């Protein structure tokens, strides 16, 4: 395959992969037709939770850390025929959220959570954005098609991946390790300028700009890669 043709191929694969709940890419023009948006429902998980796992299929995910001791979950479903069945389980100290969709054209659940600031968060969705705010525990965010935004993080580690969509993350404390990658989309990482960083960047199509101090021996490690998109690493 000619080298210049791969971005279009990646884009097509990403879009189709992001819509597994649809009848196929030929039905894209029907998305949203006759969809029902159910009122959001909320509940509180009072059990001791140190890890929150969100297994989204389609829909946005928004997680905010605070001084609270419990986890507050708000979830809103969108569907064309029958509402999805939302699930949540606590195993040990791990809370797992997810849902099951009947076969239909439109089916998604969007999540908004308020959590204790120090919990570990692992959030994934296939079609939708992921937003992480004011978290201090390790974070992982992944989306097939959508923007990943993180703000006010003091997390020691962060693993952020979007197949088709950008990544914008701001840290208010120097992280131990950050890995950010996209197939299609720009990456912007803002970290405290008071520290130095071991930095590795790679992009096929796009530029890399680093304006923080680099030190190959630093314990603060940042790696960022984008097949099609620019990379910017600067002070927060």
Closest CA to 61 of 75, 40, 43: 75
Query: Model pTM?
Result: 0.86
Tokens coding 114: 């308020």
Element (H, E) at 131: strand 130-133
Rounded CA separation 132/48 (Å): 21
Backbone angles phi, psi at 126, to 5 degrees: -90, -40
Tokens coding 158: 């962060």
Element (H, E) at 56: none
Quote the pLDDT of residue 11: 39
From residue 232, alpha-carbon distances to 66, 105, 194 in Å are: 29, 38, 17
Rounded CA separation 72/16 (Å): 33
Quote the pLDDT of residue 34: 64
Tokens coding 136: 């201090």
Rounded CA separation 115/117 (Å): 6
Cα–chain center distance at 203: 20
Using DSSP, state whether 29 is helix, strand or coil: helix
Quote the pLDDT of residue 36: 86
Quote the pLDDT of residue 38: 85
Residues of the chain predicted below pLDDT 70:
1-34
Q: How many CB atoms lie within 10 A of CB 111?
A: 25
């Amino acid at each position: 395959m000619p080298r210049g043709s791969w971005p279009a191929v990646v884009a097509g694969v990403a879009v189709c992969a992001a819509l597994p709940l649809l009848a196929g890419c030929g039905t894209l023009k029907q998305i949203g037709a006759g969809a029902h948006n159910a009122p959001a429902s909320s509940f509180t998980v009072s059990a001791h939770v140190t890890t929150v796992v969100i297994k989204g299929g389609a829909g946005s995910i928004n997680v905010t850390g605070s001084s609270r001791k419990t986890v507050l979950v708000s979830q809103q479903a969108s569907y064309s025929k029958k509402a999805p069945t939302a699930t949540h389980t606590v195993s040990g100290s791990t809370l797992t959220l997810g849902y099951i969709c009947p076969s239909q054209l439109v089916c998604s659940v969007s999540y908004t959570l308020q959590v204790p600031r120090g919990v570990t968060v692992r959030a994934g969705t296939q079609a939708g954005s992921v937003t992480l705010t004011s978290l201090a525990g390790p974070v992982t965010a992944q989306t097939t098609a959508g923007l990943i935004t993180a703000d006010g993080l003091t997390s020691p580690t962060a693993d952020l991946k979007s197949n088709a969509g950008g990544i914008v993350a701001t840290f208010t404390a120097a992280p131990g390790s950050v890995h950010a990658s996209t197939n299609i989309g720009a990456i912007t990482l803002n970290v405290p300028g008071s520290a130095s960083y071991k930095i590795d960047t790679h992009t096929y199509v796009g530029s890399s700009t680093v304006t923080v101090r680099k030190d190959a021996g630093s314990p603060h490690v940042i790696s960022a890669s984008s097949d099609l998109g620019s990379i910017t690493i600067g002070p927060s």
